[in-house]
Chain A
Amino acid sequence: MSAAVQHRLIERWLPALLGFGTLIVFLVAVEVLIRVGLINRYIVPLPTQIAAAFGRVVVDEDIVGRFRLTFIESFAAGAMITIIGVLVGMLLYRFPLWRRATETWVAALASAPTVLMYPLFLVIFGRSAWTIIMMGFVAGFPPVVLKTIEGLVTTRSVLVNVGRSLNLSSVQLFTKILFPAALPTIFTGVRLGLIFTLINVVGVEFLINFGGLGQLINDLAERYDLPGTYAAIFFVILVSILFFIAIEKAERWLRPAG
């Protein structure tokens, strides 16, 4: 093996091994500390118990059905933020006075702690999937609007000029030039929106004890099933991370090279 290949392998795999190795060492250390009694096993269950609980949680707690429910809620909220968010962004781009008047409000909404409105949504929509979907929508809507406007505004003027020189109508200019040019930025907004939506969907499921994966954690914690609670939390984190990686890859695929 040449030195260059060896160097590249070390460069690539050493950090990953170090990160994963630390995780394993940490779990083994926790296992040992619990077994020798330095950590109370009624507060932190053994990592081996948590690993064993995974199978039980998946089978007994209908994790597939719960996952499907969370997915449907997230999908509904995601579809709403995409359709309504992009539409509102396009309208605000089309009417600059409205954009100048409301863009800072949308930005303020993006940074406001809107998730704390969930008791209000509970009153309006009841303890139902709609409360969860609407909370997901409120969280994910502002970034989609803001990024749609950004994408349309920052379209290179040379592209727009080419369209005008070809005598395109305003509809053609929008569908052939502006929208395709803005699409990667719009997708960044949709990606951010989907992340906020997923956080709110799972969070509100947990808070109002209704729905899919979030409720599962609440259920297991109320039953004081410690290994099950930890396993469910790990499962939700794993699902979230896989989701983030997937939409990040989708965004890279959509963004033109260079």
Chain B
Amino acid sequence: MAETGRLSAAPSFNLRADPVLALRVAIIIAVLVLWQAVAASGLLYRDVVPSLFAIGGALVKLLTSPEYYRNLGVTAGEVGAALLIGGLSGLVVGLILGGSRLLARAYEPYLYYLGPTPKIIFFPIMIMWFGVGPGSKVAMGAISCFFPIALSAAAGMRQIEPILIRVGKSFRANTWQMVSKIYLPAMRHPIINGVRLGLGVAIIGTLLAETKLSNQGLGFLIIQAYSLFDMPRMYAMLIALFMIAIAANAVVGWVGNLDRVKAGAS
């Protein structure tokens, strides 16, 4: 039954009533003032610490330029393709390993220890295999997100309550029906967690590859700003990129919590 008769308090923005919020605001103001003071003082190279106005101006210019959105589209397409390829193959491998104790013990240690190795070092191989175009960036993103998704899916599969599996088997469900009706719905939360981790590392893998060798995409724009020594633009690029990464993470988290919200509302 839904909970009724209680209204949650509106979020408070009263700084006196909320010391945590007050401290956060104070820290942000202090950092901004300090930054601006250092920028104005000339203690450091002006280009290393540009003024906040220069960064703000560069951010506005960046977000209103069609070139930025074209490159954002390229990177988004590469990350999407990487997540699709790496995620699906990770899911299949995770399901197979999670379903067999022998296979898990034989192959999972390799995934477990290969997972945290620095993937960017595979980039020269990916260039040889897939060329210098978007293919090698997609491959880098796919390799990066394969491991967390495979390991999460395998762990999620092992956490499924045996009674659910027995119910499926007692209904004589075939393999596809077991996967689509029992396994995947029962392990959606670990999978979404894996996708969340995978999305983060796919973004990193793709963008790092773009900074190393590319002529389009957000990574290319960052390294171009570095080559031109346009520091306000580089700061603006990094701010925009961090916002995108946070938003993408929040969207995946929100999708993952949709059924919990629905369950709570019903």
Minimal beta-carbon separation of A228 from chain B (angstroms): 11
Contact between A123 and B226, CB atoms less than 8 A apart: yes
Residues of B within 8 A of A195 (CB): 116
The yes or no answer to A168 lying at the interface (CB within 8 A) is: no
State which of B23, B128, B211 has its C-beta within 8 Å of the C-beta of A116: B211
- We find that the number of chain B residues with CB closer than 8 angstroms to chain A is 50
Give A209's nearest chain B residue, CB to CB: B212
Residue B105 lies at the interface, judged by CB distance under 8 Å to chain A: yes
- Residues of A within 8 Å of B48, CB to CB, are 123-124
Contact call A22/B114, Cβ cutoff below 8 A: no
**Is B67's beta carbon under 8 Å from chain A?**
no
Task: Give a binary string over A151-162; 1 marks a CB under 8 Å from any B CB, 0 the rest.
Answer: 000000000000
- In the complex, chain B residues whose CB is within 8 Å of the CB of A236: 117-118, 121
Judged by a CB distance under 8 angstroms, whether A38 is at the interface is no
Q: How many A-B residue pairs have CB under 8 A?
A: 126
Contact of B114 among A111, A117, A230, A241 (CB under 8 A): A241
Known: A15-B102, A101-B23, A207-B211. A116 touches B241 (CB 8 A): yes
**Closest chain A residue to B104, Cβ basis:** A15
Q: Which residue of B lies closest to A198 (CB)?
A: B118
- Considering the chains assembled together, what is the distance between the CA atoms of A198 and B116 in angstroms? 9
| Chain A count of residues within 8 A CB distance of the other chain | 50
Within 8 A of A (CB), among B108-148: 109-110, 113-114, 116-118, 120-125, 127-129
Q: Which residues of B contact A76 (CB under 8 A)?
A: none
Q: How far is the CB of B147 from chain A (nearest CB, A)?
A: 12
Residues of A within 8 A of B47 (CB): 123
What separation, in Å, do the CA atoms of A214 and B121 have in the docked complex? 7
With contacts A123-B47, A207-B211 taken as known, whether A111 is within 8 angstroms of B249 at the C-beta atoms is yes
Q: Please give me the residue from chain B that is nearest to A14 by CB atom.
A: B102
| A199 with B219, Cβ < 8 A, contacts A19-B106, A207-B208, A244-B113 known | no
Q: How far is the CA of A98 from the CA of B26 in the complex (A)?
A: 11
B226 pairs with A119, CB closer than 8 A: yes
Complex Cα gap A233–B212 (Å) = 17
A200 and B119 alpha carbons, distance in the complex (Å)? 10
Assembled-state Cα–Cα distance A117/B117 (Å): 20
User: A166 in the interface, Cβ–Cβ < 8 Å?
Assistant: no
Q: In the bound complex, do residue A237 and residue B114 qualify as a contact, i.e. CB atoms below 8 Å apart? A: yes
**Would you give the 0/1 interface string for A2-33, flagging 1 where the beta carbon is closer than 8 Å to chain B?**
00000000000011101100110000000000
Quote the shortest CB–CB distance from B68 to chain A (angstroms): 16
Closest to B201 in A: A113
In the complex, A229→B109 CA distance in Å? 25
Residue B165 interfacial (CB < 8 Å): no
Asked if B195 is at the interface (CB within 8 A of a chain A CB), the reply is: no
A73 CB → nearest B CB, Å = 13
Q: Mark A90-103, 1 if CB is under 8 A from B, else 0.
A: 00000001101110
A residues neighboring B (CB under 8 Å): 14-16, 18-19, 22-23, 43-44, 97-98, 100-102, 108, 111-113, 115-120, 122-124, 195, 198-200, 202-203, 206-207, 214, 217-218, 220-221, 226, 229-230, 233, 236-237, 240-241, 244-245
Q: What would 28 A/B residue contacts be, using CB atoms closer than 8 Å?
A: A15-B105, A18-B102, A19-B107, A44-B129, A101-B23, A102-B24, A112-B245, A113-B242, A113-B245, A119-B223, A120-B226, A199-B116, A199-B118, A200-B118, A202-B118, A202-B121, A207-B120, A221-B124, A226-B128, A233-B121, A233-B125, A236-B117, A236-B118, A236-B121, A237-B114, A237-B117, A241-B117, A244-B113
Closest 7 CB pairs of A and B: A221-B124, A15-B105, A119-B226, A18-B106, A19-B106, A15-B106, A101-B23
